[in-house]
Chains A and B, each alone.
Chain A
Amino acid sequence: MSTFQNFNRRRFLQLSALANAGLITWFYGPRVSFAQSNLPAPPPAGPIDLQAAGGMEGLIAAARAEGELSTTALPDDWANYGGMKKTFFSRYNFLKHNDLTPEASSAEEIEQIKANAGNKGPQNPDVIDVGFVWGAAAKAENLLQPYKVATWDTIPDEIKDPDGFWYGNYYGTMAFEVNADAVPFVPQDWNDLLDPRLKGLIAINDPVAGSQNTHSVWAASLADGGSLDQPEKGIEFFKKLAQSGNLVPTGTSPSALVSGELPITLRWDYNALATRDNNANLANIQVIYPKSGTLAGVYLCAINAYAPRPHAARLWMEFVYSDEGQLLWLEGYAKPVRFDDMLKRGVIPQELLAQLPAADVRVEFPSLEQLNTGLQYIRDNWAKEVGITYAS
């Protein structure tokens, strides 16, 4: 007979408790004590510009030797990134494309860099595309390496890091997205939204949950000659909008807008224009820039400090900032940062220019400082000011 004979319920519970305790210690012990583990030192930064990289031919040869490129958070249906990826990887077909987590958010991209520091595998993203506020933060944490593309000088100064660690790539303008079939009149400016005839017709998504939504509140700060230094004016405006009963306390979606259930919302113009095109036979969607002013929201590109394939990363950067790459974004209605330069040189095809909405409105580019304080103010005060108004 064996010793298992004495194995009874009590014994089993004791053993499993012991096993659990062991597992818990193993699981939590290191986490708690090494919560602030430091990242390994990044490898030396690669060449600072195309010349240092050996010109276009040198860069291509070096990228060919690396053989692959990992990108992250590039959805096919966002700003024509699908077209961008397809063109680049068919041109440089010696590069294998690792298309990591297309739906990742900016914060998740930063986490990917940290989690893969020192990792040479395909799961380590070489380049990132993040919201504008993330560039300076990532640079401060030594997560990026500098590179200045050949077209560097034509990128506006206010949307690039002077040392080349990150630079804006495209932007959208905050606009009213209106289902004209389902509203008594199409609002043309911020104060029109307060009209009693629009009762129950306006909805936005939770400003705490995404930068497009936060910007939609902030943009309202520009009504009546306000400025982006006054995010409280935006909150004040939406409080009035809620009290008037025009703002519906639910979130919205393209389908709710097209159906007419919630016919007015605020979105980046490139998303609104895409909804318009995709539903052209269902509803008359109009994209309106508020007369008294709106703002632009910029995204940026950067190279991972730990990029295992730094030359392929540089080749990607050269492509997206070339005239050709910039035009691909324009096809998706996202305005490339070099738009003004290309317009001046007349390299934008007429049919692309013709499809852009006329924009003779005041559009402001928030500075990094304004962004940090403005968005933080909205996040801190939205629920307190506007949310409570609803609940009472």
Chain B
Amino acid sequence: MTTTVTAAQQALKPSPPKRSELWKGVPWDWLGLVPFFGFVAVFLVFPALSIVTRSFSDGSGNFTLSNLHSLTNPVITLAYRNTLWVSVITALSGSLLGGLLAWAVTLGGLPRWIRSSVLSFSGVAANFAGVPLVFAFVALLGRIGLLNQLLRPTGLQVDPQRFLYGFWGLCIVYTYFQIPLMVLIMAPALDGLKKEWREAAENLGASQWQFWRYIGLPVLMPALLGSAALLFANAFSTYVTATALLGAIGQTFAVTIVVANQFRTDTFGDPGLGYALAFSMMVVIAITVALYTYSRRQAERWLQK
């Protein structure tokens, strides 16, 4: 196979070449990537760069650090604290509950149809968020919601102030889409746990606990960490769900709402602060994604063997 053409060979070629031959060397397969790169440029590179440059510029385009300095405002640090807590709590609860559920349907010895129905349901539920999700929870846990109607004869009542319209409400609602997301990510990883490892461990006299302690969990740990990171990012960047549930005070619970408030028109907002906030969120997400990618790579390395 030769890829170089000597001058002599070229001279020997009949000329002019046919049109079809002229286009022979065009790397069509690479051209196929052009729309993708165009898409990335327009919808990822431009917006991201725009956010970074505008974080450091005042209204008239001059360099400034005041936008970043505004991030130390107590309301914003409170919003950050709450957002991080909600993200951590729902990432942990989602990982735990979703992980156990994934384990039950993959290795738990349940009938096949349970596995497929749980996975299909997870595919739907992981994407069920925003206004419809909040509406569903209000219909269930609200002051006049289904649960309170059912509880009425008993005299017990769920207090929506405590369990719905506030910090814990946000945690409960987010967990609804975090669990199925975890199931979707962990099921394939659990499938990758080879039967032979368990058999080998059992033959060598390992107990159930020892198998998980020394083989199962270490193998799964990178995947678990990676999934938890993804869940964290998922909760951290949620906007519509938080707005729909905590419209009146959401700004102290979700950084995304603080960002949106800087651009929503009737607010006399501060776009510079909005860009700086978005930039700070990009940093948090970049760290999380880096952690996720690293863990994922480790997991794949383990499971390939």
Contact = CB atoms under 8 A, between A and B. Distances in A.
Interface of A: 1-5, 7-9, 12, 16, 19-20, 23-24, 27-28, 31-33, 35-36, 105-108, 131, 182, 200-201, 203-211, 245, 247-252, 256, 259-262, 375-376, 379, 383-384, 386-388, 390-391
Contact of A387 (B26, B75, B247): B75
A209 B267 contact: yes
A249 B161 CA distance: 8
B248 A27 contact: no
B16 interface: no
Interface residues of B, number: 55
A4 B25 contact: yes
Contacts of B167: 391
B60 interface: yes
B290 interface: no
10 contacts: A2-B25, A7-B25, A7-B26, A8-B27, A12-B27, A12-B30, A32-B53, A105-B265, A261-B144, A388-B75
Given A208-B267, A249-B246, A259-B144, A391 B82 contact: yes
Given A36-B61, A387-B75, A208 B30 contact: no
Contacts of B59: 35
A386 B252 CA distance: 10
A250 B60 contact: no
A272 to B, nearest CB: 18
A2 B24 contact: yes
Contacts, number: 148
Nearest to A256: B138
B33 interface: yes
Nearest to B10: A1
B41 A205 contact: no
B61 A33 contact: yes
Given A259-B144, A261-B142, A261-B143, A210 B266 contact: yes
A270 to B, nearest CB: 18
Contact of B3 (A5, A28, A33, A375): A5
Interface of B: 3, 5, 22-27, 30, 33-34, 37, 41, 45-46, 49-50, 53, 57, 59-61, 74-75, 78, 82, 138, 142-145, 159-161, 164-167, 243-253, 261, 264-268
Contact of A32 (B25, B61, B166): B61
A70 B27 CA distance: 52
A261 B45 CA distance: 44
Contact of B144 (A1, A260, A384): A260
A260 B144 CA distance: 7
| 10 closest residue pairs by CB, A with B | A251-B247, A107-B265, A35-B61, A387-B252, A4-B25, A2-B25, A250-B165, A105-B265, A5-B25, A249-B249
A28 B265 contact: no
A27 B46 contact: yes
Given A12-B27, A248-B165, A379-B267, 5 more contacts: A248-B161, A261-B143, A262-B143, A388-B252, A391-B82
Given A106-B266, A200-B143, A4 B46 contact: no
A7 B34 CA distance: 14
Contacts of B49: 24, 28
Contacts of A262: 143
B251 A383 contact: yes
Contacts of B250: 206, 251
A20 B41 contact: yes
B248 A204 contact: yes
Most buried by B among A8, A9, A19, A209: A209
A200 B45 contact: no
A33 B75 CA distance: 33
Contact of A2 (B22, B78, B247): B22
Contacts of B75: 383-384, 387-388
A110 B252 CA distance: 30
B261 A209 contact: yes
A35 B59 CA distance: 8
A391 B252 contact: yes
B183 to A, nearest CB: 29
A204 B249 CA distance: 10
Nearest to B161: A200
A106 B265 contact: yes
Nearest to A27: B46
A181 to B, nearest CB: 11
Contacts of B74: 384, 388
Nearest to B260: A209
A23 to B, nearest CB: 6
A205 B248 contact: yes
